[in-house]
Amino acid sequence: MSSNGKWSEADVPDQSGRIAIVTGANTGIGYHTAAVLARCGAHVVLAVRNLEKGNAALARIVAAQPQADVTLAELDLSSLDSVRAAADALRTNYPRIDLLINNAGVMYTPKQLTADGFEMQFGTNHLGHFALTGLLLDHMLGVRGSRVVTVSSNAHRFRASIHFDDLQWERSYDRIAAYGQSKLANLLFTYELQRRLTAQQKNTIAVAAHPGTSNTELTRNLPTILKPANALLGPLLFQSAAMGALPTLRAAADPDVEGGQYYGPDGLGQQRGYPKLVQSSAQSHDEELRRRLWAVSKELTGVTFPV
């Protein structure tokens, strides 16, 4: 850690020999996470929906770091068929996986459904990653120091609850509350996965992180009323995607990280700054909520976990 006590990408230890899968790695937080891990010696798989954008990201990483060992995998988290196909290919190619970084996400989308009929934000941000993790986990459990890192958001506190009576927002739709539900689900999933891993004393840990307010493509679906303010204030309020990636990188690579922890920026309101251990909402630690969401997610995806 630097002399000012701030953890930065310079603190990422050597990642040689590690296999890291990063979802949504063609842009924003995922891209910077993948680029740093590759620079530190990991073999990084960019798991992306759009292969053209993925190839462009791969080319950028290799141009900056010719020794980088980076490959591409096609993954559309809004389709369980795609998740299963991607998981099959990854399992074939990688008998051992050190890092699974569940980073991809959509935010504030207009009302739309995934290929399987789930509300887009819940289906992509939570259920897609739940299914992917379950399908890959047995290739991680025997690997010392392996981690599942899931990217949440400050939005898990904002008008967020798990609407079990209408998970897919069929009665009415609120894009902000739906995003909050999906990000709360990311944390409930992380904490319940960690509980199960601990119960079986596995090598793998589950950790969560959030990027604060970062300048990424996620804001493209902001409600129209907010777009002028975002254009005006964004550059002042938002930190770079490279800074926003630091909590994810710390959760993935800091040797002192423990299972069930949550990392975010150290600045005012966790909006920006260097990564530190932070606390999530009381609701995100509700054991009954965690168990209920896990059971529903298992039922909706048809994916069972080896823990």
Active site residues: 179
Burial of 10 (0-12, 13-18, 19+ CB in 10 A): exposed
| Torsion angle, alpha carbons of 183, 188, 191, 194, to 10 | -100
For the chain, the residue count is 307
User: Which residue in 29, 37, 27 sits closest to 212, CA to CA?
Assistant: 29
- Residue type at 102? N
What residues contact 227, with CB distance under 8 A and at least 6 apart? none
What is the bridge-based pairing of β-strands 99-102 and 147-151? parallel
Contact 209, 263 (CB under 8 A): yes
Is-contact 281 156, C-beta < 8 A?
A: yes
Nearest to 107 by CA among 75, 166, 56, 152: 152
Question: Which strands sit side by side in the sheet containing 19-23, from one edge to the other?
Answer: 69-74, 43-48, 19-23, 99-102, 147-151, 205-209, 262-265, 275-277
